[in-house]
Amino acid sequence: MTRTMKAVRIHTYGGNDVVRYEEVPVPVPAADEVLVRMHAASVNPVDWKTRSGGGQADKIGERFPIVLGWDVSGTVEELGPGVVDPDDDGWAVGDEVFGLLRFPQPGQTYADYVAAPAHELAPKPSRLSHVEAAAMPLAVLTAWQALFETGALEAGHTALVHAAAGGVGHLAVQLARWKGAGVVGTASGDNAEFLRSLGAAPVDYTRERFEDVVSEVDLALVAVNGDVTDRSLGV
């Protein structure tokens, strides 16, 4: 008998009303995949943008039904063909793992189980809960790429991180501080103490224009819409 599970799927792009909670077959892991029992997934802006037909929808196309979700944290339940034992950098049943799956193709993590490419998983750090681990992959990868691969941030630089209390921003602040850079972060006043606790000097974007109080920065990370990018070029 086919094993079934619950999954969050869409059969067309659109508003919240296109999201369906459905009974579907448990995926069978293919070669070099493992079946992961989900403990937590996350909702990043790209998830709802894609559901609505923006985001990565143009790369995915009309291959409905689509199981949404890219970030995963869970437990390895079954090994597909060719997945070797842990001594060879493989996985064993029971391992706790997290990762970002198949981006920009559907990650299919809004489900009880996901068949995950074995090389796209990493061991979940034991000090992180599954919820914390599932919140990390896409957001921290975005922050890492922006700061270090695109921005070439180095120790001694100063970074201006916009939306510094947000999902990408608060991780960018911590990565920049880890690198040895100084950080100025924009956030609303309620988040000022949070930014200080991460090592950033806060600027309340609701009360002042950052360009009036910030200068001589080496890099600006702009995870907000509007004219903030253009205004940042001046500082």
Percentage helix, strand, coil for the chain under 3-state DSSP, each rounded to 5 = 30, 25, 40
By beta-carbon proximity to ligand NAP, the closer residue of 89 and 193 is 193
By beta-carbon proximity to ligand NAP, the closer residue of 11 and 49 is 49
Q: Would you put residue 82 in left (φ > 0), alpha (ψ -120 to 50) or beta?
A: left
167-179 vs 137-144: helix crossing angle, rounded to 10: 50
Minimal distance in Å, beta carbon 161 to ligand NAP? 9
Interface with ligand NAP (CB under 6 A), residue total 20
Minimal distance in Å, beta carbon 73 to ligand NAP? 15
**Which residue, judged by CB position, is nearest to ligand NAP in the bound state?**
166
Q: What residues contact 89, with CB distance under 8 A and at least 6 apart?
A: none
By beta-carbon proximity to ligand NAP, the closer residue of 168 and 183 is 168
DSSP 3-state assignment of 25? strand
Taking the CB of residue 188, how many other CB atoms lie within 10 A of it? 13
Binding mask 178-197 toward ligand NAP (x if CB under 6 A, else -) reads: --------xxx--x------
Query: Which residues are at the interface with ligand NAP (CB under 6 A)?
Result: 44-45, 138-139, 142, 162-163, 165-169, 186-188, 191, 205, 223-224, 228
